[in-house]
């Protein structure tokens, strides 16, 4: 009798200890059910494969946490401005992983400096003073001053993509035509780059190099295609000097980062290279980013291709280098200040080309 009582008591104690764990596990599974379905959809859309089950579970955990961020971001914008989604190719990455992949390298300069001193610390000048009166709105994409949106892939080459966007835009202004220019050429041949091209660079220094009288020019995308999307191409950084060049930069300069100066510069010089904190872009799908959660420290180089007003909200139209699948056909819009500095550090280092020609 005592033996049976002991067994019964032991079983009850075991259930008491185990039941909370079972309940917790079940609750967690139920909580994650909707996230798991979305995670499966994400894997299918982006053909995401993981090396083992442990990595898959780790990525799912990150994905689930990101879903909470997406829900918050959509509630902040109330679906009236920007929308955010799990169907972006970085939904299984942490914020740190995402921001570290881009490739803008400012040599550890503190970008909390005033906007007009950032580039002075990076390069000596020249400094531009635009005087053109801005139009009510401007769109260089509609004007044919841009080429198809490109994709930097896993390579930190945003600096090269921002640079070519500026020169392509300037060619349209100066010659009436534009050509898709080679980011790979800049990554392989720019003598000012900090590495083989995939670990970062500076559009301001690259434009300075292109405008130097000793620089012969830049190759076309067709003649010198992009080969670094994987981030591990062994030939990256090895200049193929025998490939013919098609264009040359005849002038460049730094623009003051104050909003009115940037607006005037957009009209006078064309597409502008700017840097920004990329955090708001990780889950971005469409609309105007009006409540960006970001800093003023730039980690990503992009190109301003226009501006306008939508339902009373002033915005910059910005070309990215994440491919056409990102955002609004490869572009995003972000709130534009009428005075002072722009959101997410976009006033930090604004660079323009003042002339370009075919060779």
Residues carrying an active site annotation: 158, 300, 320
The DSSP string of 159-204 is HHHHHHHHHHHHHHHHHS----B-HHHHHHH-TT-SSSSTB-B-HH
Phi, psi of 96, rounded to the nearest 5 degrees:
-65, -45
| Residue 234 neighbours by CB under 8 Å, 6+ apart | none
List the structure tokens of 211.
């405008």
Residue for token digits 């035509």?
A: 177
Which is nearest to 254 in space by CA: 91, 138, 120? 120
What stretch of H or E contains 29?
Answer: helix 2-45
| Count of beta carbons in the 10 Å neighbourhood of residue 334 | 25
Burial pattern 1-11, b for ≥16 Cβ within 10 A else e, equals eeeeeeeeeee
Q: Which residue has the tokens 């067709």?
A: 222
Peptide bond into 126 cis (omega under 30): yes
The interaxial angle of helices 203-211 and 115-122, nearest 10 deg, is 60
Q: b/e map of 258-281 (b: 16 or more CB within 10 Å)?
A: bbebbbbbbebbbbbbbbbbbbbb
Token code pair at residue 206: 């690259």
Distances (CA, A) of 334 to 64, 84, 181, 212, 278: 26, 13, 26, 33, 12
Sign of CA dihedral 94, 95, 97, 101: positive
């Amino acid at each position: 009798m005592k033996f049976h009582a002991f067994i019964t008591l032991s079983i009850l104690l075991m259930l008491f200890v185990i039941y909370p764990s079972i309940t917790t596990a079940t609750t967690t599974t139920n909580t994650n059910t909707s996230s798991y379905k979305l995670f499966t959809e994400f894997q299918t859309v982006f053909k995401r494969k993981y090396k083992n089950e442990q990595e898959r579970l780790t990525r799912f955990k990150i994905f689930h946490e990101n879903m909470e961020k997406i829900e918050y971001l959509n509630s902040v914008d109330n679906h009236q401005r920007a929308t955010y989604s799990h169907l972006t190719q970085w939904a299984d990455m942490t914020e740190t992983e995402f921001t570290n992949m881009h490739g803008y390298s400012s040599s550890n300069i503190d970008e909390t400096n005033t906007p007009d001193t950032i580039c002075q610390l990076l390069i000596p000048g020249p400094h531009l003073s635009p005087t053109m009166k801005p139009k009510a709105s401007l769109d260089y994409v509609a004007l044919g001053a841009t080429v198809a949106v490109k994709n930097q892939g896993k390579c930190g080459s945003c600096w090269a993509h921002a640079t070519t966007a500026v020169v392509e835009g300037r060619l349209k202004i100066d010659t009436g035509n534009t050509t898709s220019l080679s980011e790979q050429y800049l990554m392989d041949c720019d003598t000012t780059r900090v590495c083989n091209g995939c670990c970062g660079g500076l559009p301001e220094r690259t434009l300075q190099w292109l405008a130097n009288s000793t620089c012969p020019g830049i190759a076309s995308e067709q003649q010198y295609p992009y080969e670094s999307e994987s981030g591990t191409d062994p030939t990256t950084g090895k200049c193929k000097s025998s490939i013919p060049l098609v264009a040359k930069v005849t002038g460049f300069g730094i623009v003051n980062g104050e909003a009115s100066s940037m607006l005037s510069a957009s009209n006078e010089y064309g597409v502008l290279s700017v840097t920004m904190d990329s955090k708001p872009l990780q889950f971005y799908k469409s609309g105007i980013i009006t409540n960006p959660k970001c800093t003023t420290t730039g980690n990503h180089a992009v190109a301003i291709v226009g501006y306008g007003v939508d339902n009373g909200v002033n915005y910059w139209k910005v070309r990215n280098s994440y491919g056409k699948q990102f955002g609004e056909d490869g572009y995003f819009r972000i709130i534009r200040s009428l005075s002072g500095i722009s959101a997410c550090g976009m006033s930090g280092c604004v660079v323009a080309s003042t002339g370009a020609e075919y060779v």
